[in-house]
Amino acid sequence: MIETSGGGPAKDELKGIQEVANQLKVTHRTLRFYEDKGLIEPVRVGNTRVYARRDVARMQVILRGKKLGFSIREIKEFLDLYNVDPRHEEQNRMLLKRINERLKLLEKQRVALEETVVELNRLAAETQAKLDEQTGGA
């Protein structure tokens, strides 16, 4: 843990970039990327980035959102609502809306993928049959 003095998070709540990267199983570059996008705001102690519990929690939300296919813009909207809505009602409404939109999109993609698999299997069978004719079934 990084130690610091003064106001802000307690020193036992602060972590260095290596510790956070290891905890979240991401690279330093990933953490810096989301910092550049304004999604996390580590403080600096000298030249060292120091992450509070809030930054780690936000990164967990970011990583989960990315895994579920949400854009950085959507994740940022969600995180921004967290700060202005103490009861998280609007945040939950927006999340539910985005989830439903994502589910509809994924369902369309699933159908298209299944159709593509069927077509590729048909084409593979036709092509194999032509090869068998050409080579005498060998």
How do residues 9-47 score in pLDDT, each as one tens digit? 555 689 999 999 999 999 999 999 999 999 999 998 888
Residue from 43, 40, 41 nearest 60 by CA: 40
Extended strands (E) in the chain = 15-16, 43-45, 48-51
- Report pLDDT digits (tens) over 98-127: 999 999 999 999 999 999 999 999 999 999
Residue 62's pLDDT is what?
A: 96
Residue 137's pLDDT is what?
A: 64
Question: 16 and 48 in contact (C-beta within 8 Å)?
Answer: yes
Question: 19 and 55 in contact (C-beta within 8 Å)?
Answer: no
Q: In the chain, what are the domains?
A: 1-69 (1.10.1660.10)
Cα–Cα distance between 52 and 8 in angstroms, integer? Answer: 9
Q: What is the mean pLDDT of residues 51-79?
A: 93
78 pLDDT tier (thresholds 50, 70, 90): confident
Edge-first strand listing for the sheet containing 48-51: 15-16, 48-51, 43-45
Cα–Cα distance between 38 and 55 in angstroms, integer? Answer: 11
Tokens of 5: 């003095």
In this prediction the pTM is 0.73
Residue 80's pLDDT is what?
A: 86
> What share of the chain has pLDDT > 90, as a percent?
70
* Crossing angle of helices 28-36 and 17-24, rounded to 10°: 100
Per-chain mean pLDDT for the chain: 89
Tokens of 63: 């990583």
